[in-house]
């Protein structure tokens, strides 16, 4: 694919990809059912976790500026099967989150047009089960239109994104200013209905972390930026600025916007599907025109988010096709547009089909767990790659550290969630923290780094990726049982596809020596570069 993007494009893609989805689709649910006014802290925790993960992604993207993001990084580090499991889960995340965002667009479009909340923008199919019976044709049209745009050109897609993002940033400034100007501090501490819990933490500290797990899907946009590394000019300079800069900017915007909506209305009166338009129409800001402006601005943001995420999901599928673990038809790049047309079209149609009938809450539960799992894998991979040189370094000390550290984090998370409050719980949590720090110190003392990045690397190795591992596991522990059941189902299906088809297809391609011919050269080049460095 053609290298035509600069750091300006990457920041535009990052801001456009993240801001549209997060605040406008997940804030209402996270505030009303998980964290209350403390949703501001939920966004801050999720933002910190995303920033640490972004550092890990950036080190890989600078050293291996190829498309494919986490799939490419984990394939080079841990091999084909973990990479396929990771890549398949992330593609599922993209498809489901894009479907969720598209359905959110319909809610805000009604507000922008001044329609009442009961307006029939969706219609009910009574023959379908609950949660899958609200048919949304508007979401389908939006997804298919964006699919056409991203198939046409990446650079032109960037221009469209930059234009919409600029308008969207102006709208965000209006929302923040209006929210703080017309909001009330009392809404941060009092519920709207007396039967509900009050205070800044109505659901306690657990609710804050549950909210962080829900809103973490909002940060999936920076991962989409890393998948475009193959199309970036001067990647060692532009990728670190683009990825980390966009995460920092978006985290600040998220916290400010969550605070503004919390100031306008008590948490138990915020609408779950369209929180901002509802807050401005019912809150002290008054006036139907304000709600209409919110609807228009949110619609712009959702479109930019869809544009970036759909660009990212197509590049993941393209690179997975290059490895031959899925049919190489997905890896084909159109000669005139230089875009992965087949992958973009297939995933666009799949996204539209899911957006047609699946409820928003079901989609968001599925997305968060897969995203956290993928970011957890990348954090492990960056540590392994720094401390293990294939063929010259014994990998078992590093693998043992990663396993023991993850096990300690799991123990801490289970104690936090299930142990009864009291002194014994505090002692056990402190013991887990002490054990994790001791593991890090022993690892630092016993195992030297096998390689250091030439251009850009994660600072304070291995502390930052280790903290990222902990935060991802901790947020995974905040998700509900249904999320794990669905995640297990998709992971099991992925394993089945790999055993039945993928392992044989990739092996045959490698045996015949046509892997590069069939699937492009990016992954082969990255593996070759890695071997040369080591």
Query: pLDDT of 170-226, one tens digit each?
Result: 878 887 888 888 788 888 888 888 888 888 898 888 889 888 887 877 776 676 677
pLDDT digits (tens, 9 = 90+) for 480-507: 787 788 788 888 999 999 988 888 777 6
pLDDT at 510: 61
Task: Using the predicted structure, report yes or no on whether residue 62 has a pLDDT greater than 90.
Answer: no
Q: Is the dihedral of CA 450, 87, 330, 355 positive or negative?
A: negative
Mean pLDDT on 41-64? 87
Task: Using the predicted structure, report yes or no on whether residue 534 has a pLDDT greater than 50.
Answer: no
pLDDT at 404: 96
Q: How far is CA 301 from CA 165, 241, 357, 415, 433, in A?
A: 7, 22, 22, 39, 40
Whether 214 contacts 36, CB under 8 Å = no
Task: Using the predicted structure, report yes or no on whether residue 285 has a pLDDT greater than 50.
Answer: no
pLDDT at 274: 65
Task: Using the predicted structure, report yes or no on whether residue 289 has a pLDDT greater than 50.
Answer: yes
Smallest Cα–Cα separation from 26: which of 363, 423, 334, 281? 363
Q: How many C-beta atoms surround the C-beta of residue 350 within 10 A? A: 18
- Residue 288: pLDDT band (50, 70, 90) is low
Task: Using the predicted structure, report yes or no on whether residue 439 has a pLDDT greater than 90.
Answer: yes
Buried b (16+ CB within 10 A) or exposed e, 380-398: bbbbbbbbbbeeebeeeeb
Q: Which residue has the tokens 């948490």?
A: 267
Share of the chain above pLDDT 90, in %: 17
pLDDT at 526: 42
pLDDT digits (tens, 9 = 90+) for 403-422: 999 999 999 999 988 888 88
Whether 53 contacts 378, CB under 8 Å = yes
Average pLDDT of the chain, as a whole number: 80
Task: Using the predicted structure, report yes or no on whether residue 524 has a pLDDT greater than 50.
Answer: no
109 vs 460 pLDDT, higher one: 460
**CA pair distance 298, 305, nearest whole angstrom:** 10
Mean pLDDT on 294-304? 74
Which residue blocks in 153-234 are alpha helix, DSSP H?
154-182, 204-215, 220-226
Q: How many C-beta atoms surround the C-beta of residue 434 within 10 A? A: 11
Q: Which helix (H) or strand (E) holds 143?
A: helix 137-152
- Residue 519: pLDDT band (50, 70, 90) is very low
pLDDT at 399: 94
**CA pair distance 531, 154, nearest whole angstrom:** 31
Q: How many residues does the chain have?
A: 534
pLDDT at 8: 77
**CA pair distance 531, 534, nearest whole angstrom:** 5
pLDDT digits (tens, 9 = 90+) for 243-280: 888 888 888 988 998 898 888 888 888 877 667 766 66
**CA pair distance 521, 534, nearest whole angstrom:** 20
Range name among 145-159, 202-216, 370-384 with the lowest pLDDT average: 145-159
According to the 3-state scheme, what is the secondary structure of 318-386? HHHHHCCCCCHHHHCCCCCCCCCHHHHHHHHHHHHHHHHHCCHHHHHHHHHHHHHHHHHHHHHHHHHHH
* Most confident region among 205-219, 304-318, 373-387 by mean pLDDT: 373-387
pLDDT at 57: 84
Q: How many CA atoms lie within 13 A of 243 on its CB side?
A: 32
């Amino acid at each position: 694919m053609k290298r035509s993007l600069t750091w300006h494009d990457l920041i535009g893609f990052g801001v456009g990809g993240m801001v549209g989805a997060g605040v406008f689709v997940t804030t209402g649910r996270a505030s009303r059912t998980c964290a209350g006014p403390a949703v501001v802290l939920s966004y801050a925790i999720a933002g910190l976790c995303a920033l640490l993960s972004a550092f890990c992604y950036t080190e890989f993207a600078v050293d291996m500026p190829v498309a494919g993001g986490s799939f490419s990084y984990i394939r080079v580090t841990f091999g084909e099967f973990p990479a396929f499991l990771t890549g398949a889960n992330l593609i599922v995340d993209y498809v489901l989150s894009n479907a969720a965002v598209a359905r959110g667009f319909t809610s805000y479009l009604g507000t922008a047009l001044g329609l009442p909340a009961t307006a029939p923008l969706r219609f009910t199919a009574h023959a379908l089960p609950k949660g899958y019976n609200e048919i949304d044709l508007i979401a389908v049209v939006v997804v298919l239109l964006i699919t056409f745009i991203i198939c046409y050109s990446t650079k032109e897609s960037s221009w469209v994104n930059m234009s919409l993002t600029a308008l969207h940033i102006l709208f965000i400034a209006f929302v923040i200013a209006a929210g703080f100007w017309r909001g009330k501090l009392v809404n941060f501490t009092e519920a709207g209905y007396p039967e509900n819990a009050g205070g800044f933490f109505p659901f306690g500290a657990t609710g804050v972390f549950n909210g962080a797990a829900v809103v973490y899907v909002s940060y999936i946009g920076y991962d989409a930026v890393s998948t475009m590394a193959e199309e970036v000019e001067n990647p060692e300079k532009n990728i670190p600025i683009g990825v980390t800069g966009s995460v920092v900017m978006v985290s600040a915007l998220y916290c400010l916007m969550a605070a503004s909506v919390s100031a306008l209305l008590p948490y138990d009166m915020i609408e779950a599907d369209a929180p901002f338009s509802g807050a401005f129409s019912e809150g002290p800001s008054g006036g139907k025109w304000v709600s209409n402006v919110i609807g228009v601005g949110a619609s712009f943001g959702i479109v930019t988010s869809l544009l970036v995420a759909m660009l990212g999901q197509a590049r993941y599928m393209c690179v997975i096709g290059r490895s031959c673990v899925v049919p190489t038809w997905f890896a084909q790049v159109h000669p005139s547009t230089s875009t992965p047309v087949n992958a973009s079209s297939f995933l666009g149609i799949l996204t539209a089909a899911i957006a047609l009938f699946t409820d928003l809450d079901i989609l968001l539960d599925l997305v968060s767990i897969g995203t956290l799992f993928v970011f957890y894998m990348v954090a492990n991979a960056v540590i392994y790659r720094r401390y293990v040189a294939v063929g010259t370094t014994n990998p078992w000390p590093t693998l043992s550290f990663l396993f023991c550290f993850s096990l300690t984090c799991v123990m801490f998370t289970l104690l936090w969630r299930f142990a009864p409050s009291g002194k014994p719980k505090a002692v056990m949590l402190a013991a887990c923290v002490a054990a994790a720090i001791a593991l890090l110190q022993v690892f630092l003392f016993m195992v030297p780094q096998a390689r250091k990045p030439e251009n850009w690397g994660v600072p304070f190795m291995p502390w930052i990726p280790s903290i990222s591992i902990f935060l991802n596991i901790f947020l995974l522990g905040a998700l509900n049982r249904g999320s794990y059941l669905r995640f297990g189902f998709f992971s099991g299906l992925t394993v089945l596809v790999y055993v039945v088809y993928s392992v044989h297809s990739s092996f045959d391609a490698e045996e015949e020596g046509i892997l590069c011919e069939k699937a492009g050269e990016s992954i082969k080049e990255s593996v070759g570069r890695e071997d040369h460095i080591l």
